[in-house]
Each structure stands twice: as structure tokens, then as C-alpha cells.
Amino acid sequence: MDLDEDLKCEEHEAPYLICVLKSKKEKDHMACEIYAICPVDQKMETRSLDIPIEEIEKLNLPLADKIFRCEKCFREANIQDIAMEKKSVIIYLVCPEHGFLIERDISNDLYDGIRFAWDTKDQKLQKEYTV
């Protein structure tokens, strides 16, 4: 599964960022409803995506990479705050240049894995280099 293929703006050929990720667990896949935003004109689109259960672990980092970035300049954003809701986690991001960004709203089922992948990505990279 290639997220960059599934989540891109056809008009600008730009990779989408994810603002809202809602998931529902089905028998063998996660049915995801995504509000994606184009980094070129900040237009929102909805996409549905079925992620096979066995692929989720692999996709945590690629998903994180589309969540924790600025929708205007694509730089890594700082996590200012998070709020736990009943079904999802609201993430407040700040870009060093563009200030507060559109809130991210990530389904509880997926949040922990995605956040962990993002928080540990630098360690992982180092490990790959030393091996």
C-alpha cells in the first residue's frame, strides 16, 4: 500500500496532509475516513481508505509524516497540546513560521501507534545507520 499514491492532490500533484483520520475496525481492515488538505491551496478533500490490519504497523510512520507537518510549508510542526476526546485525540500543532495550524483529529484506535512512530523516528533512523 502506497500512501503517497492514495493520498495526493491530483490537481497539484502534491502529497496531501491529514487533518482528520477516523477509523472503524472491520473484520480484516480498518475503514478510514480522511480529511486531507492540499499544501498548495489548503483545500480540503475527503478520502476513504481501507487499511489491511497487517499493514497498519508499517503505515504508522508514513501516516505520522502526513499529520505532524505544517499544511503551508510542510515543515515539521511542534506539538503544542493534545486533548483526549471520547473517540479521538485532538492535536494542536504550531509551525515555527505559520503559528497555530488546523487541529488534527485522529481516531483513538490509531493515535498511539502513530504518535509512537513519530516520537521514535529519529532513534530508528540512527539505529538503521549504525547497523
Which residues would be at the binding site for Zn ion (CB under 5 A)? 9, 11-12, 38, 40, 70, 72-73, 95, 97-98
Min dist. Cβ of residue 69 to Zn ion (A)? 8
- Report d(CA 122, CA 106) in Å as an integer: 22
Min dist. Cβ of residue 126 to Zn ion (A)? 26
b/e sequence 115-128, b meaning 16+ C-beta within 10 Å: bebbeebeeeeeee
Min dist. Cβ of residue 27 to Zn ion (A)? 34
Specify the residue, 13 or 54, whose C-beta has the smaller distance to Zn ion. 13
